[in-house]
């Protein structure tokens, strides 16, 4: 308590508290407030420190603080704000500060306990398959290595193919990357990347042709004269 520290110092120096406080510009009732636990403002602390030839740390804390624990400008500002509040509000401020500390500790602990995201490198086609929009494409087009969170890539995926168009919405959004398993067993009803006459399509494989989820698109019928190849089976997708 500030009053106890001040009284101890005054007793050591053989001076009385009341005239010292008055000399330093202390307001009437200050000493009484300090006895009841109130804290002084930074101005009176500074003046008493000079008058009594002691450090402000000795007045406030009752002892000299380690030199490595010097207050920063922000810390002094907080202390000054605290000292300007009445005792009841000071306690509310302390409670608020403790709540913030607890909240930060919980948040920090949670973030530290979160497992690191494992990344996986996989080949992604440089050319998008046109899900309703045809784009020049060949089976042996170049692929580029890209990284994705490992848990976003399903087991068995060999590569990814970007999709351009909305014919497979709403199940597969325009702009997503579909994960493809090559050399997979293909059955009717599977979603596939098909190449017809050099053009890629992302469709549902059915006996009568290649269908879309979007009802606005008619099935693509594959004729005997068409060059038709199945690039692979779609087993999932990634969308940011």
Kindly tell me if the per-residue pLDDT of 79 is higher than 80: no
* Chain centre distance of CA 234: 32
Report the C-alpha gap between 220 and 179 in whole angstroms. 22
Element (H, E) at 119: strand 119-125
> Residue 11 pLDDT more than 90?
yes
**Residue 50 to residue 55: CA distance in whole angstroms:** 8
pLDDT of residue 68: 41
User: Which residue in this structure is represented by tokens 């406080």?
Assistant: 21
Average of per-residue pLDDT across 112-121: 79
Report residue 17 as tokens: 């508290």
In contact, 78 and 63? CB cutoff 8 Å: no
Instruction: Go through the domains of the chain in sequence order and give each one's CATH number.
Output: 2-83 (1.10.260.40), 119-238 (2.10.109.10)
Residue located via tokens 């038709």:
228
How many distinct helices (H) and strands (E) make up the chain?
7, 9
Q: Which residues contact 42 (CB under 8 A, 6 or more apart)?
A: 76, 79, 80, 83
pLDDT confidence of residue 130: 73
Handedness of CA 212, 215, 218, 219 (dihedral sign): positive
Region 110-114: mean pLDDT is 62
The answer on pLDDT for 132 being more than 60 is no
Percent of the chain with pLDDT over 90: 40
pLDDT > 90? residue 238? yes
Range name among 18-27, 35-44, 118-127, 153-162 with the lowest pLDDT average: 35-44
Q: Collapsing DSSP states into helix, strand and coil, what is residue 235?
A: strand
State phi, psi for 211 to the nearest 5 degrees: -105, 160
Give the pLDDT of residue 55. Answer: 84
Average the pLDDT over 209-224 and give the result. Answer: 93
Q: How confident is the model at residue 101 (pLDDT cuts 50, 70, 90)?
A: confident
For the segment 151-173, the average pLDDT, to the nearest whole number, is 92
13: left (phi over 0), alpha (psi -120 to 50) or beta: alpha
pTM flag (> 0.85):
no
């Amino acid at each position: 308590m500030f009053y106890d520290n001040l009284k101890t110092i005054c007793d050591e120096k053989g001076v009385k508290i009341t005239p010292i406080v008055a000399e330093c510009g202390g307001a009437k009732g200050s000493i009484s407030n300090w006895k009841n636990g109130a804290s002084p403002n930074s101005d009176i602390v500074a003046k008493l420190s000079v008058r009594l030839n002691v450090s402000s740390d000795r007045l406030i804390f009752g002892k000299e603080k380690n030199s490595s624990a010097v207050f920063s400008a922000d810390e002094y500002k907080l202390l000054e704000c605290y000292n300007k509040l009445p005792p009841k509000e000071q306690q509310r401020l302390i409670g608020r500060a403790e709540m913030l500390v607890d909240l930060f500790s919980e948040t920090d602990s949670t973030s530290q306990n979160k497992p690191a995201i494992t990344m996986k490198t996989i080949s992604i086609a440089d050319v998008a398959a046109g899900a309703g929009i045809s784009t020049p494409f060949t089976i042996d087009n170049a692929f580029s290595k890209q990284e994705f969170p490992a848990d976003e890539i399903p087991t068995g995926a060999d590569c990814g193919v970007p999709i351009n168009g909305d014919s497979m919405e709403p199940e597969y959004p325009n702009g997503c990357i579909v994960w493809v398993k090559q050399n997979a067993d293909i059955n009717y009803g599977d979603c596939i990347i098909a190449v017809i006459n050099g053009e890629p399509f992302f469709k549902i494989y059915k006996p009568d042709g290649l269908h879309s989820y979007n009802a606005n698109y008619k099935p693509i019928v594959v004729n005997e004269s068409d060059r038709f190849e199945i690039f692979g089976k779609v087993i999932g997708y990634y969308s940011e």
